[in-house]
A = this chain, B = another copy of it.
Amino acid sequence: MSMKYLSQRVAQIIDEELMSQAGGFSIDQLMELAGFSVAQAVAKVYSKESYSRILVCCGPGNNGGDGLVAARHLSHFGYRPSIFYPKQSKKDLFQRLATQCNNLKIPFVNELNKQLLNNTDLVLDAIFGFSFSGEIRTPFGEVIQTLKETNVPIASVDIPSAWDVEKGNIDGRSFIPTMLISLTAPKMGAQQFKGIHYLGGRFVTPELDRKFELNLPPYPGIEQVVDITNLTNERL
């Protein structure tokens, strides 16, 4: 049985189930675990000696929240992250996550330009997640275009931003990241991704795995992430 790639609808249902009364999770908890697993995966692939300067690009939704959590953990790990977060959510949780980053003196930058990218070792793309659909709103069209043109490696959270969650990088309108950290389970659009691929979200119960026939691979030891690069490419 091979690992399942989720449709957008099933990804939303699983997310809702985790946070339902039956699942018991709060969004604070899940975002903490998701963001932590992103930071852990990044640190396993990109050493802080060579990739210290990480630019975390955050969108306005939950994917952006995962990015804020990851930025905080990366700072604790000894990286020097900075954050580009042009459409900041007014929700309490997101404001608190930004406060936590401020308290670590992580700089927030106002503009994503080539000069900034020249001083960046890695971009962490936390712009859009599994809820993305339709048009790319301002200012993210320009952001996606800039990321398309850069040679800086990019690690994407959950799904590369502006990819169709199910159909992938339609008409090549978005960039192809170097690394993808899928959360909970990979999305259908990630089937066409051939780079370094990690899975995070070690909170799925065996029951939930069975119910949705996820066939998730086992996580090693006490890790919050599992390398699924080979698993993914087997099926290509």
Residues 204-228 of A at the B interface (beta carbon under 8 Å): 205-208, 219, 221-222
A29 to B97, CA, bound (A): 10
A25 on the B face (CB < 8 A): yes
List the number of copies, as a whole number: 2
Determine the distance from Cα of A40 to Cα of B39 in the docked complex, in whole angstroms.
Answer: 17
Q: Which of A180-236 contact B (CB under 8 A)?
A: 202-203, 205-208, 219, 221-222
Docked-complex contact A26 and B222, CB < 8 angstroms: no
Asked if A114 is at the interface (CB within 8 A of a chain B CB), the reply is: no
Bound CA–CA A21/B98 (angstroms): 11
Cβ-defined partner of A24 (8 Å) among B33, B96, B105:
B96
On whether the beta carbons of A93 and B26 are closer than 8 Å, the reply is yes
Set of chain B residues within 8 Å of A207, measured between Cβ atoms: 103, 105
Does residue A100 face the partner (Cβ distance < 8 Å to B)? yes
Q: Roughly how many angstroms separate A108 CA and B25 CA in the complex, as a whole number?
A: 19
Interface pair B221/A77, CB less than 8 Å apart = yes
**Candidates B32, B40, B206, B219; contact of A33 at CB < 8 Å:** B32
> Footprint of B on A, CB under 8 Å?
21-26, 28-29, 32-33, 36, 39-40, 43-44, 72, 76-77, 93, 95-100, 103-105, 202-203, 205-208, 219, 221-222
Apart from A29-B29, A32-B33, A105-B207, 14 more pairs, CB < 8 Å? A21-B99, A23-B99, A24-B98, A24-B100, A25-B96, A26-B96, A28-B28, A28-B32, A39-B222, A43-B222, A72-B203, A76-B202, A76-B203, A103-B208
